[in-house]
Amino acid sequence: MKTRIAIIAPNNTCQLIKEYISKLHQFEVGYCNENSISAFIDLSHQNFDLLLIDTNSTPLNGFELLDSFTQKPKVIMVSKDDKHAAKAFDYEVLDYLIYPFSFCRFLKSVHRFASMVACNEPERTAITANPTSKLQIQANKTLYTIPEEEIYYIESMGDYVKVHTKEKHHLFKHSLQKLELQLNTEKFLRIHRSYIIATQKIESMSSKFISLNNKSLPIGRTYQKQAKEKLLQQFSLIKS
């Protein structure tokens, strides 16, 4: 099995690393993004073995990004200078590379990583984006968090989503499909192409509608079977 690498760095750094990795058959680049918040969200449900982070990544810099992880990943830091090197090693990173670095220098970093896991199969790490059960949404270069327990339902409105809580709603330019990947499937259910509901907030239901927070939402035809099977675990009767 190949070692999967994720990169959060500018495109020129990513391309250089991809070029070097192409020469190492036991490694592969599985992800690359220069936007640190977007990458953090995208990698929430993906597995990787090694993460390379640029110290000057944005909107969160490399150290702010490391502070966001609940499970400490194996990291190699990349930078255009050495002014952050001491701080990087305080974070117990595997290595600190100064761009542009040679293949020989990169190989030393990879060898250092390989040496750490030589005795055992690498344990793949997933970034936990919701350590405290919070929905995270990036919009307008800002990362917003909403506690899952406050959410009643999420509504798709074209290029936007509206997150409904008991007293108010939050509107973001975002994809409902991407938000669905973040949510706990034990607590949330897609019932329509435009709606995801919090199953614990349901007040009543029929074969075609679900009511919560004094709002009646339709169950889409393609979602009816899945919704009934899921919700019958919580309700003893479905009214026709």
Q: Tens digit of pLDDT for each residue in 126-141?
A: 444 444 477 878 777 6
- For residue 136, what pLDDT is reported? 77
How many structural domains are present in the chain?
Answer: 2
Q: Taking a C-beta distance cutoff of 8 angstroms, is the pair 7, 31 a contact? A: yes
For residue 149, CA distances in Å to 64, 111, 175, 199 come to 26, 45, 21, 11
Q: So what's the pLDDT on residue 118?
A: 63
Residue 184 located in a structural domain: yes
Q: Dig out the tokens for 162 from the structure.
A: 């509206």
CATH number at residue 26: 3.40.50.2300
CA distance 130 to 79: 28
Residue 162 lies in a domain: yes
pTM assigned to the model: 0.53
Using DSSP's 3-state secondary structure scheme, residue 240 falls into coil
Which structural domain range is residue 27 located in? 3-126
- 76 and 121 part of one domain: yes
- Both 107 and 204 in one domain: the answer is no
Instruction: Answer yes or no: is 151 within a domain.
Output: yes
Joined together, the tokens standing for residue 198 give 């919090």
* Amino acid (1-letter code) at residue 70: T
Looking at the fold, whether 122 and 16 belong to one and the same domain comes out as yes
